Chains A and B, each alone.
Chain A
Amino acid sequence: MKDLNSMSKNPINAAGRAANNFSFFIWDIVSLFFQVLHWLFIGPFKGKAAKRDGIFEQMVFVGVRSIIIVSFISLFIGIVLAMQSAYQLEQMGAVIFVTGLVAVSVTRELGPVMTALVVAGRVGAAITAQLGSMKVTEQIESLETMALNPVRFLVVPRFLALLIMLPALTVIADLSGIFGGFIIGTLNLNIDPHLYLDLTKEFLEWKDIYTGLLKSAVFGVIICIIGCYNGLNTKGGAEGVGKATTESVVTSFVLIILADAILTAIFYFAKV
């Protein structure tokens, strides 16, 4: 080991090792994802489905308890967006387009992303902290000795909960974001409420909504897999749990934005 330590002082070797660790990380993440898929789609046919009561509890935790914060944040995003765009559009005398601008940017982009970031901070961190403390107190090992697969038992319920609840939360975020725009549009810009809603309907297309929801499903997968991966690989007691939690939130944020860019590019070039 002495050799390895001295090696890490050499910058080229250190870079090599970092790259190596990174590829291990990617491999682990992908393999965890496939394990989840295995337990989701192949497990049930072997009579080993995920626990249903666990899924319900997780759905409540992920979804119901996030409603208030998610709708609060997107309400204000909608308000801010309306004011900022009105400031620009007023100069061209096109204030009426605030309606479409708010609706489309909230459903396509800001609703899914803001919701995902909020949930990553709230739920992703909690998942890592829960699984991490289970890991450092021998609970994960005890599941394994009882022939209970930790992925099936702990990851799959959280995966399903996030996959279902994050898009559901996104719908709520979309609605309250549009409502935020509606408040500014009607009270400040003096657009007739009926006209505002009609224009919103006019500008908004189905594909705006479902591409947004598709994004949020992908974000849900990212939050779950990163959160669980960091939790299950926690080392070193309570301090380790804290470190893993921070790591989990930061990694999720980066990957969410990255995935957002990639998906947006795909939708843009495919003209969806």
Chain B
Amino acid sequence: MEIKIESKDDISICRVSGEITFSTSPDLRKRLIELTDKHIKKIVIDMKNLTYIDSSGMATVVEILQKIKAIDGELKLANVPDKIKDILEMVRLKDIFDIQESEEAALASF
């Protein structure tokens, strides 16, 4: 798993690629919590090159969503591959997230 974080104005874009598993999700969590701790209210997670996400990955993203909502911020998911969408749907998470077609759409939607 690789994480790249880029800031545009007041928005942070987090590009995750590879596989999020039990062993890698703590790293993702650490990076994302750094953002919410800095009170960044707008975060986009770009999943374009994400091949797999396990329960711990989904739980991490859910936790961040909850944290960001607590500070009146917004979390968007962009470029979610169909396979990942399937997995999200399986655990009934698809409707909780604001899923956008592309990064641009996500940026525009704030």
The reply, when asked whether chain A contacts chain B directly with Cβ atoms under 8 A, is no
B interface with A by C-beta (< 8 Å): none
